[in-house]
Structure 1
Amino acid sequence: MKILHTSDWHVGKVLKGQSRVDEHKQVLANVIEIAVAERPDLVIVAGDLYDTAAPTPEATRLVTRALTALRRTGADVVAIGGNHDNGQALDALRPWAEAAGITLRGSVLASPAEHVVDGVTRDGERWQLAALPFLSQRYAVRAVEMYELTAAEATQTYADHLGRVLTRLTEGFTEPDRVHLVTAHLTVVGASTGGGERDAHTVLGYAVPATVFPGTAHYVALGHLHRSQRVNGPCPVRYSGSPIAVDFGEQENVPSVTMVEVTARTAAQVREVPVPAAVPLRTVRGTLAQLAEATPPEGWLRVYVREQPRAGLREEVQELLPRALEIRIDPELVPAPGSGARMAQRAGRSPRELFADYLDSRGHDDDGVRELFDEIFEEVDR
């Protein structure tokens, strides 16, 4: 069977105030074109369809139309909720999804059978997919309890709970003539972050070892980390990465989808198919003079200015580089906190003095900024 594995669309993303809806339309159109050309038997969308738990109507239309178009290629389509998605809101779309022939699982449901999807390819290959949406720590405990496993101990880790849930969902992975698949939205120990993920859900106890996946799985399709990569484990484990660079920390990633060919008797063969439609993200550095002389790269820009801070600097950079979304003083020019400056003591000091100390600590010696602060302070202090 052939599988198209994608994840982390983050539809509705706004980057430094810039809407990316047109880019998302082009990116998802690319994904659909790849599906038309490749004719997969199954499309897996491994979470984070949206960038926010409260997507706009426009974002919802874009996601539902993309899923519908993928289904119209003849492929089965399975999508799960990620940590950015509202799982219950996705579950509310299940009547629409079922009518469209799409399997949608936004959150963990009381019956394990709800998360085990069976199918048959055009050529008669049988497959079974365990679909696990993102689980927060507290819901991981609830899921263990719902599935009537050993009661959760207070000292047990997130990985323990997730491992128990996956064991329950994959207990049917025993038939030799069926392709066994897993999709989940989580962080695996040892994998590399893409640069734009939500830190709270990639660290602080949310990472699990690859051993939570059964050795009987033919392929594990993961979402959450935005860099396409293979992860060492007891079976083939892979992140597809995001088809669009979500933030500037991801500018070196190559947006793609993952194509997998596998049978019940042969190992998974994996290849990446690039998705080139998104506007690239680039970082440029230099003084104003250097920025004025250089030819800016294509795409949205993050600019590190090699100048001392002063009032109006941002506007000067934006005049030179209209596609600059983020403008910062080059970190190499910013003094380390507390270096060369006395940390302000709050007691008995005026706001003007405290602000002056802050400017000194940051190497900011523009009198215009101090005067502007004084004017604002006088206005609000009346």
Structure 2
Amino acid sequence: MKILHTSDWHLGQSFFTKSRKDEHQKFIEWLLQLVATEHIDAVIIAGDIFDTGTPPSYAREMYNQFVVDMQKLNCVLVVLGGNHDSVSTLNESKQILACLNTFVVASTGVAASEQVFSIPDKQGQPGAILCAVPFIRARDVLQSTAGETGLQKRQALGEAIKQHYQELYQLALAQKLQTGRDIPIIATGHLTALGVTQSESVRDIYIGTLDGFAADGFPPADYIALGHIHKPQIVAKSEHIRYCGSPIPLSFDELGKPKQVMLVEFSGATVSQLQPVEVPNFQPMEVIKGDLAAITARLQAFEQSNATSLTCWLCLEVDSQDYLSDLQERVQGLTADLNVEVLQLRRSRNQRRQLLNQASNETLAELAPEEVFEKRLTMETFETEHEQATLNKVRLRFNQILSEVQVQGSEQ
């Protein structure tokens, strides 16, 4: 039995106003080829198939076409709901997709028996038992009690999630016994396990209720396929508990480490192979850090090193002792003739920290109102065209208010 574990596709994502449609389409084509080449029995998408609860029409079309193409390959598809997914959006096509060898489990707000089922192999025989656990919403597993402290709520939710896993695992054991076959039990999850490394694009879940789920709360399944964290990693030093990560970089801080899907092969109920399969890079992206001189030098060398015809998306992090009010214009001049597009321009954390320290040593009496306002703005980031437009509006409104106040003061 061969399983392919992937997660966090985020179809329909807008990345600094840029569509990821082409990247996702190329990834899906690559994935389908991998399924055919490796004779995969089932693909598990462990949550966040879409980026929002109301995905654009092209994202829905892409999802539906993928289901059809998987059916042609005689490969089972399992889709789990994530915290970005709308339960109703996933459920609206659930019954139709069930006729196309596809299992959809959008939430835990259904009977436990609907969350445990066998995955057939190529011959149509039970090849594995799946505890299909999507993103768990607190209201689906827990009744809040008046007067509970924050700590008590976190403990109660953690215990409720643990009990949910144990209930499904017991059902899975019973189903496995009924098959009379030596097949694995696989569990899924879309949550933050304790001790994992997150990225900027991961939206915190269970905020104020549960910071992370302890790995010892998972059942003793033969493999646990997790989603929500975008960086591939092993949980609690247990090789069989894995985050496969997102297939494309969803933020600039996800660069530097290859994206992957997990190919899991079973011999009977035992994992015989755990193979990360690297996903090709479909869109050039790069982060360039340093002072203006270092960034200029890197950009000058960039034209020779960038062999692809695709425009490279850049994040520039500038480290300078000066405020550089004309930073945006300087960067535009440096990149005007290059096949690049600066999607994110930000000051280094060191510079922001220096500005904050400098501000803490000054008093309001030493500063004019305009200086106070500008120093406050330096604590924020205005990187995209929309944010720059907002900044200009804020400055204009401030100047109008300041002028009105000054006029009123002169009349008194």
TM-score, structure 1 as length reference: 0.84
Whole-Å separation in 2 of the counterparts to 1:357 and 1:191: 36
Q: Deviations over 1:92-123 (max 9, x none)?
A: 22123123221111112331111112133125
Name the structure 1 match of 2:137.
Answer: 136
Residues 345, 114 of structure 1: CA spacing in aligned structure 2 closer, same or farther, 3 A cutoff? farther
- Which one of the candidate residues 182, 195, 199 is aligned to 1:177? 182
2:347 to 329, 344, 350: 329
User: Is residue 25 from structure 1 mapped to residue 29 from structure 2 by the alignment?
Assistant: no
> Cα–Cα, structure 1 residues 140 and 351, in superposed 2: closer, same or farther, change >3 Å?
farther
Residue 75 of structure 1 and its aligned partner are, at CA, apart by 0.9
Q: CA 1:335/1:34 → structure 2, altered by over 3 Å: closer, same or farther?
A: same
Residues 185 and 71 (structure 1), Cα distance of their counterparts in 2 relative to 1, 3 Å cut? farther
Q: What is the DSSP-based 3-state SS (H/G/I as helix, E as strand, rest coil) of the residue aligned with 1:208?
A: coil
Write the distance in 1 (CA, Å) between the matches of 2:264 and 2:393.
Answer: 59
Describe the SS at the equivalent of 1:78: strand
Residue 168 of structure 1 corresponds to: 167
Q: What is the CA–CA distance in structure 2 between the aligned matches of 1:361 and 1:154, rounded to whole Å?
A: 34
CA contact (8 A) 2:118 2:126 kept: no
Indicate whether 1:197 and 2:202 are aligned: yes
Aligned length: 364
What are the equivalent positions in structure 2 for 1:167-316 lying under 5 Å apart?
167-174=166-173, 175=177, 177-201=182-206, 205-215=210-220, 217-232=221-236, 236-294=240-298, 295-296=301-302, 299-307=312-320, 308-316=322-330
Give distance in 1, aligned partners of 2:378 and 2:54: 41
Stretch of structure 1 that moved more, 111-120 or 262-271: 262-271
Distance 1:312 1:68, change over 3 A: farther
Is residue 78–residue 102 contact of structure 1 (8 Å, CA) maintained in 2?
Answer: yes
Distance in structure 1 (CA, Å) of the matches to 2:113 and 2:379: 59
2:224 partner amino acid: V
SS at 1:157 equivalent: helix
Unaligned runs of 5+ in 1: 144-152, 363-369
Pick closer, same or farther for the CA change 1:373–1:160 going to 2, 3 Å.
closer
Secondary structure of the corresponding residue to residue 323 of structure 1: strand
SS in 1 for 2:184: strand
Give the structure with the higher percent helix: 2
CA RMSD, 1 decimal? 3.2
Equivalence for 1:82:
82
d(CA) in 2 for partners of 1:339, 1:324: 29
* TM-score scaled by length of structure 2: 0.78
Contact 1:341/1:361, CA 8 A, preserved across alignment: no
CA contact (8 A) 2:23 2:283 kept: yes
Q: Percent identity?
A: 28
Letter in 1 for 2:91: D
Matching residue of 2:120: 120
Unmatched runs of 5 consecutive residues or more in structure 2:
145-151, 307-311, 381-390, 405-412
